[in-house]
């Protein structure tokens, strides 16, 4: 599997109608899927230990997608082998009154991972060029100032702010990997019906989900422009076919492992003085 096939090319328009929501199954059986995912999770765990020990880099994972695209399950299944002390997940809800008093990147900047840690954003600052674009009335609560606070120029400026923000983070050791879980409208319908029909999933269903489904075309247009304008060499978007949860999890886990490998991390090397101290302590323990 070449994960580059799922990467949006920087500066190129994205028409989501031309991107698949399903691929030929990557695993021949459920058992094979479990083996592949467990292999990826084991390597991810090992790489996370290196990340923590080397203390030179941070990793930020961003997950975006329509309702029921599988963001929660993705995080749960792919990251379950990671040491909780080195990983933190933030689910961004509508901004509160304090957050509305600041620029749209402020609340995300406060949640960035420290060096040595993995941060996961379940939704993110990208909502400010997605849901706010589909529902521009939400801008009234944000009261942004400036000559381009309204109109099409606003989105261009926000895209530029995001790209500059991510470039700054990358230059300072925070590596960003972004995933758009690309779900078909038909598969979303099937998952919504399952949430209604299966008692154990009733709690997941919200009337707001159906309300937002009515804006499907507007969201696809907003996502397409966002993905095209904010995918960059230092922070690329991966458009992951999400109709099959198993295939999506294999793709995402593979991308994360490959990104961590690219950092070529090693455990810190001890200087001669520190080695002598450890040898001395070892002799004491042996006695």
**What pLDDT does 199 receive?**
86
The predicted-structure confidence for 248-278, as pLDDT tens digits, reads as follows: 999 999 999 999 999 999 998 877 888 888 8
Residue whose tokens read 């599997």: 1
What is the distance, to the nearest Å, from the Cα of residue 188 to the centroid of all Cα atoms in its chain? 20
| CA–CA distances in Å: residue 99 to residues 38, 91, 127, 141 | 39, 15, 14, 11
The fold adopted by the segment(s) 3-286 is: Rossmann fold (3.40.50)
What is the distance, to the nearest Å, from the Cα of residue 10 to the centroid of all Cα atoms in its chain? 17
**What pLDDT does 147 receive?**
54
> What SS3 state is found at 175?
strand
- Stretches where the chain sits below pLDDT 70 are 143-151
Domain boundaries, the chain: 3-286
Tokens of residue 279, six digits: 């040898």
**What pLDDT does 277 receive?**
85
What is the distance, to the nearest Å, from the Cα of residue 279 to the centroid of all Cα atoms in its chain? 44
**What pLDDT does 143 receive?**
65
**What pLDDT does 149 receive?**
65
Which residues, other chains included, contact 84 with Cβ-Cβ below 8 Å and sequence gap of 6+?
Answer: none
Q: Residue 179 in contact with residue 62, Cβ under 8 Å?
A: yes
**What pLDDT does 123 receive?**
96
**What pLDDT does 148 receive?**
57
Give the pTM: 0.92
């Amino acid at each position: 599997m070449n994960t580059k096939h799922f990467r949006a090319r920087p500066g190129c328009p994205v028409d989501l109608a031309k991107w698949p929501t399903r691929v030929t199954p990557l695993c021949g059986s459920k058992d094979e899927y479990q083996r592949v995912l467990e292999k990826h999770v084991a390597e991810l765990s090992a790489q996370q230990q290196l990340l923590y020990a080397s203390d030179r880099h941070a990793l930020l994972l961003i997950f975006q997608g329509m309702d029921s695209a599988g963001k929660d399950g993705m995080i749960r299944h792919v990251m379950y082998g990671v040491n909780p002390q080195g990983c933190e997940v933030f689910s961004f809800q509508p901004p509160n009154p304090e957050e509305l008093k600041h620029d749209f990147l402020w609340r995300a900047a406060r949640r960035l991972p420290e060096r040595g840690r993995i941060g996961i954003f379940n939704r993110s600052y990208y909502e400010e060029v997605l849901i706010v674009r589909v529902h521009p009335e939400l801008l009234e609560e944000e009261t942004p100032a400036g000559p381009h606070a309204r109109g099409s120029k606003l989105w261009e400026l926000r895209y530029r702010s995001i790209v500059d923000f991510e470039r700054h983070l990358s230059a300072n050791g925070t590596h960003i990997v972004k995933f758009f879980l690309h779900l078909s409208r038909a598969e979303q319908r099937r998952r919504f019906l399952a949430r209604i029909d299966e008692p154990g999933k009733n709690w997941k269903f919200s009337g707001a989900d159906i309300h937002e489904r009515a804006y499907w075309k507007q969201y696809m247009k907003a996502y397409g422009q966002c993905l095209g304008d904010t995918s960059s060499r230092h922070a690329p978007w991966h458009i992951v076919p999400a109709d099959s949860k198993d295939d999506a999890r294999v793709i995402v886990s593979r991308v994360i492992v490959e990104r961590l490998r690219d950092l070529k991390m090693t455990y810190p090397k001890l200087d001669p003085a520190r080695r002598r101290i450890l040898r001395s302590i070892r002799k004491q323990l042996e006695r």
